[in-house]
Amino acid sequence: MIVEVGHFALVLALALALVQSVVPIWGAVRGDARAMALAGPISGGQFLFVAISFAALTWAHVVSDFSVVNVFENSHSTKPMIYKISGVWGNHEGSMLLWVAILALFGALVAWFGRNLPRTLRANVLGVQAWVAVAFYLFVLLTSNPFARFAEPPMEGRDLNPLLQDFGLAVHPPLLYLGYVGFSIAFSFAAAALIEGRIDAAWARWVRPWTLAAWVFLTLGIAMGSYWAYYELGWGGWWFWDPVENASLLPWLAGTALLHSAIVMEKRDGLKIWTILLAILAFSLSLLGTFLVRSGVLTSVHAFATDPARGVFILGILMLFVGGSLTLFAARAATLTKGGLFAPISREGSLVFNNLFLTAATATVFIGTLYPLALEAVTGGKISVGAPFFDMTFGPLMVPLLIALPVGPFLAWKRGDIAAVAQRLAVVLVLSIAATLVTWAIRGHAVLPALGVGLATWLMLGSLAEIAFRIKLFSQPAGALRRAVGLPRSAWGTMLGHFGVGVMLLGIVAESAWKIEQVLVMKPGDHVRIERFDVAFERSVPNSGPNWDEVIARFRVSDGTSNPPVIMEPSKRSYRTRSMPTTETAIETWGLFSQLYLAIGEAQGDGVAMRIYWKPLVLLIWIGTLIMSIGGVVSLTDRRLRVGAPTPRKAAAMALPAAAE
Amino acid sequence: MTRKQKRLTLIGFAGLVLAVAVGLVLFALNDRITFFTSPTDLAQGKVKPGTRLRLGGLVEDGSIKRGDGTVVRFRVTDGVNAVPVTYTGILPDLFREGQGTVAEGMIGADGEFKADTVLAKHDENYMPKEVADALKQSGHWQEEAAKATPKK
């Protein structure tokens, strides 16, 4: 009964979305205030019904109602409760329901926080948001119904793919979807602006917090997925340039560009048309990601089921929205007034530089991801585009961007003085060169890693230097603390975001250049030395869990000092229902950021094949992304960006330079 | 700078970045991609030794032989031809005889494929698409026996 309520609630949500997709926009055209105001309550109702629907499916999973096909295929009565819940979105149908639930949540939030938006803009935004919602409700109801039942219910379920029975993967999809779907807000605002043919700095002030929030979630979601791949797959890698990973990186790159171009629009009323295009692009790439991952075009752990009807349906949605929005863009972009010009060396110029390189990098990832699919469709030839391609294309495009990154925030708006910036960054440059030389000298005279460490130092110190100069830390240390407190939160956010990039780069450089890998067969009693560690295999111990059995290999690891040895226990697990083996790695962190990583393979006689990795500073990769996300959150708390609450004084101050153009 | 000069600088720079990106992509597409082949392609001598490839097919039944340490030898077949493969390292969890696999590496002059990466499927129902296509081509594709799914 509850399951049927869930199904019915989803149909009701579709009905509400249909009303919301027409009435407010019609009201905006006719100037009918009541029709426009309807958008608010309807989007609230839509979210309510989708939430009921989602709760119903969750309930079916929690009580293991195997008469529901979705529960039968992805659950088992002995599965731990946390994975019964995460199993709701650990499959195609449920994850699409999560997708629409988050879409409805964002719609309701825009309606709630947007009460003081201009009336027509709010009506148009919520109308466009409902178009997207209608398309995806239809997709779920027509091709991916999670509420289908069996006539003769089975007694036991098939269990969830063991790789997905993991905490990392319990939180990865919701975070990623919050990011993907969050860009729909920027998209709806862009479409609404094009429909109205009017756009101003206030528009950017509205769009930026939503974009920033989506970007924070997407950053965390990608980082979570990467960490999961690192510890769960047992290959020790953290990024494989796999098409499904690229599918999430594409909207991230476009979103990062959007975040920066919206600053120019907000502060200088410039780059309007470009910002609109990026907003359309970021969401289009999110839809593309959904298509690639959900259609079965790519086979991976994400492709739960391949059903051609679904692929065609999502492709239809993709073409409708990308094609429709670009047509609207082509027709209306010319009506938007152009912003003021600026000298090439200026804050605007640096943000354009950022956008050029980010979009060029997005394009290379796009080509690398889609070219094999296109080639196969056209010629039938099969190729694989992997890390070597991206190292050759994405890598070189990132280098100028990262070198220029610390310079940008130092430049003044309109016309910057590069000599003055060079003077301010001179100390940072000297320190970075010193870091390069020291690394080169003590790390075996390798050039590239040394340059990488130098670049990371440049990024980290450069972002700190900007704050130091703004609060006059060295010139007038007396009032520095007071000035630091008075600094806008967005300045701290920028610093943290850029600092995080440096930290991540340091982790990437150290991990790629100095990791040590050993693959060998060990018998009980064997010792092996790796870096400064002595790894001793003691014995194998059988063990069992709620829905799996495992063989644990017990290792005693000492780090060559008087510290007590550490016990590490990687295991080989076999899940009973699917009789599928998985590798459970053992990871031990040393000195805050470096990790020793053990993974065992198949048994060979009385020994066991195993991988041992020493991963120097590897944790910095994810700590860096975490710092970037924290930067985003800090920026969100800036008073200027607080949704709907720009102080009149600041709003007036911002209008002045725009008027002076 | 005049308005026009500013605009031209911007457009010129954008063009430059675009040209560099296009150049890199074209170069990388020429040089940094791997082609997918089947054992039959290799048997027909379509591939020069020393080219990097992905070889896909089924692991031949009874062909897995372990050597010293973590060296392992097996044969990849598409039902018509089979290619001997050597690999040093740990095989993926789901690597089994009679199941699909993709090996990446180079074919030696002696006809032996030296793999540096071996991939298997992500779950028990999944077959790499390339492998499925190759098997369909050689007529060895079997639709999975009707699963024990209750009627809807």
For residue B148, pLDDT over 60 is answered with no
Alpha-carbon span A442 to A422, nearest angstrom: 29
Residue percentage of chain A with pLDDT more than 90: 61
Residue A280 has pLDDT above 60, yes or no: yes
Mutation pick from B122, B130, B131, B151 vs chain A, by most beta carbons of A within 10 Å, is B122
Per the document, the length of chain A is 661
**pLDDT (tens digit per residue) in B25-66:** 999 988 888 888 888 888 887 777 777 888 888 888 888 888
- Is residue A371 less than 8 Å (CB to CB) from chain B? yes
Examine the pLDDT at A302 and tell me if it is beyond 70. Answer: no
pLDDT higher at A331 or A507: A507
Beta bridge partners of B114: B86, B106
How far off is chain A from B43, nearest CA to CA, in Å? 18
Out of A151, A342, A579, the one facing B152 most closely (by C-beta) is A151
Q: Are A301 and B21 a contacting pair at CB < 8 A?
A: no
Residue among B1, B54, B93 with most chain A CBs within 10 A, to mutate: B93
Residue A183 reports pLDDT greater than 90: yes
Give the residue-averaged pLDDT of A510-535. 92
- List the single residue in B with minimal CA-CA distance to A68: B152
Lowest mean pLDDT among A116-120, A190-194, A310-314, A508-512: A310-314
CB contact under 8 A, B151 and A151: yes
Nearest CA in chain B to A522: B69
Q: Do A601 and B29 touch (CB under 8 A)?
A: no
pLDDT of residue B133: 65
Taking residues A2-31, report their average pLDDT.
95
**pLDDT for residue A203 is more than 80:** yes
Residue B31: closest CA among chain A residues belongs to which residue?
A389
pLDDT, residue B135, reads 61
Report the percentage of chain B scoring pLDDT > 90: 14
**Rounded mean pLDDT of chain B?**
78
For residue A326, the model assigns a pLDDT of 93
Kindly report the nearest CA distance between residue A519 and chain B, in angstroms.
6
Which residue of chain B is at minimal alpha-carbon distance from A386?
B33
Given an 8 Å threshold on Cβ–Cβ distance, is A148 in contact with B152? Answer: yes
Report pLDDT digits (tens) over A545-572: 888 899 999 999 998 888 889 999 999 9
Measured between beta carbons, the chain A residues lying within 8 angstroms of B21 are 360-361, 363-364, 393, 397
Confidence of residue B128 (pLDDT cuts 50, 70, 90): low
The tens digit of pLDDT for each residue in A27-46 reads 999 999 999 999 999 999 99
Q: Which of A612, A519, A599 has its CA nearest to residue A552?
A: A599
Interface membership of B98 toward A (CB under 8 Å):
no
Give yes or no for residue A653 having a pLDDT over 60.
Answer: no
Asked if B3 reaches chain A (Cβ–Cβ under 8 Å), the answer is yes
H or E segment and range at residue A160: none
pLDDT, position B1? 67
Q: Residue A624: which of A227, A66, A162 has the closest Cα? A: A227
* pLDDT higher than 60, residue A340: yes
Q: State how far the alpha carbon of A105 is from the alpha carbons of A10, A157, A206, in Å.
A: 14, 31, 17
B152: nearest CA partner in chain A: A150
Short-list A24, A325, A369, CA closest to A183: A325
Structure-model confidence comparison of residues A227 and B47, the more confident one: A227
Contact across the interface for A396 and B24, Cβ inside 8 Å: yes
CA–CA gap between residue A513 and residue A212 (Å, rounded): 33
Which residues of A are less than 8 Å from B126 in CB distance? 299, 303
- Chain A CA closest to residue B8: A344
Q: Which of A152, A360, A361 sits opposite B151 (nearest CB)?
A: A152
Q: How many CB atoms lie within 10 A of CB B84?
A: 17
Q: Give the nearest partner residue to B90 out of A150, A360, A611, using CB atoms.
A: A611
pLDDT value of residue B127: 54
**Model ipTM?**
0.81
Tell me the C-alpha distance between A238 and A615, whole Å. Answer: 11
Angstrom distance (rounded) from CA A530 to CA A160: 37
Q: How confident is the model at residue A648, as a pLDDT?
A: 40
Nearest to B152 among A150, A161, A609 (CB): A150
> Minimal Cα distance from A350: which residue of B?
B10
Put residue A293 in one of left, alpha, beta given phi > 0 → left and psi -120 to 50 → alpha. alpha
Whether B15 contacts chain A with CB within 8 A: no
> CB–CB of A223/A622 below 8 Å?
yes
Give the Cα-Cα-Cα angle A522, A525, A531 (nearest 5 degrees): 65
Helix or strand holding residue A402 (H, E): helix A387-404
A370 touches chain B (CB under 8 A): no
* Dist. CA A376–CA B132, nearest whole Å: 14
**pLDDT confidence of residue A306:** 55
What local confidence, expressed as pLDDT, does residue A514 receive?
94
How many Å apart are CA A186 and CA A196, to the nearest integer? 15
The rounded mean pLDDT for chain A is 89
pLDDT at A601: 85
- Angle subtended at Cα A285 by Cα A281 and Cα A288, rounded to the nearest 5 degrees: 140
pLDDT confidence band for A205 (50 / 70 / 90): confident
Name, in order, each residue with C-beta under 8 angstroms of B7's C-beta and a sequence gap of 6 or more.
A341
Whether B20 and chain A come into contact, CB under 8 Å, resolves to yes
Name which of A235-239, A314-318, B46-50 the model is least confident about.
Answer: B46-50
| B151–A150 C-beta distance less than 8 A | yes
The mean-pLDDT minimum among A332-341, A539-548, B95-104 falls in A332-341
A603 reaches B (C-beta below 8 A): no
Structure confidence at residue A646 (pLDDT): 43
- Here the tokens at position A432 are 């970075």
Does A652 have pLDDT greater than 70?
A: no
Best A392, A403, A604, A661 member to test B by mutation, with max B CBs in 10 Å, is: A392
**DSSP label of A68:** B
B31, B130, B150 ranked by CB distance to A150: nearest: B150
pLDDT at position B139: 61
Residues 113-132 of A with CB under 8 A from B: none
Do the beta carbons of residue A205 and residue A641 sit within 8 Å? yes
Asked if B94 and A344 come within 8 Å (Cβ–Cβ), the reply is no
B25, B31, B122: residue with CB nearest A364: B25
How many helices (H) and strands (E) would you count in chain A? 20, 11
Query: Is B123's pLDDT higher than 60?
Result: no
As beta bridge partners, residue A534 has A529, A558
Tell me whether residues A602 and B90 touch, CB distance under 8 A. yes
Q: Using 50, 70 and 90 to split pLDDT, how confident is the model at A650? A: very low
> What is the residue-wise DSSP string for A483-496?
HHHHS-HHHHHHHH
> Rounded distance, CA A464 to CA A455, Å?
14
Q: Does B16 touch chain A (CB under 8 A)?
A: no
Least confident of A134-143, A311-320, A486-495, A623-632: A311-320
Least reliable range by pLDDT among A226-230, A447-451, A502-506, B35-39: B35-39
Interface check A333 vs B, CB under 8 A: no
Cβ–Cβ below 8 Å for A385 and B33: yes
Does the beta-carbon distance from B24 to A381 stay under 8 Å? no
Least Cα distance to B135 among B46, B38, B5 occurs for B38
Among A393, A415, A610, most B C-beta atoms within 10 A, so best to mutate, is A393
Mean pLDDT of A134-142: 95
Chain A residue numbers with beta carbons less than 8 Å from the beta carbon of B151 are: 150-152
Please say whether the beta carbons of A151 and A63 come within 8 A: no
pLDDT confidence band for A23 (50 / 70 / 90): very high
Chain A residues closer than 8 Å to B14 by CB: 356
d(CA B10, CA B6): 6
What does the pLDDT read at residue B40?
85
Q: What's residue B121's pLDDT?
A: 63
Q: Does B108 have pLDDT greater than 90?
A: no
Q: Which residue of A has its CA nearest to B12?
A: A344
Q: What is the mean predicted confidence (pLDDT) over A60-73? A: 93
pLDDT at B124 over 90: no
Q: List the one residue out of B133, B69, B72 whose CA is nearest residue B97.
A: B72
Q: What is the CA radius of gyration of chain B?
A: 22
CA distances (Å), origin A90, targets A70, A86, A150, A230, A395:
10, 6, 20, 19, 33
pLDDT at A661 over 50: no
Residue B126 has pLDDT above 70, yes or no: no
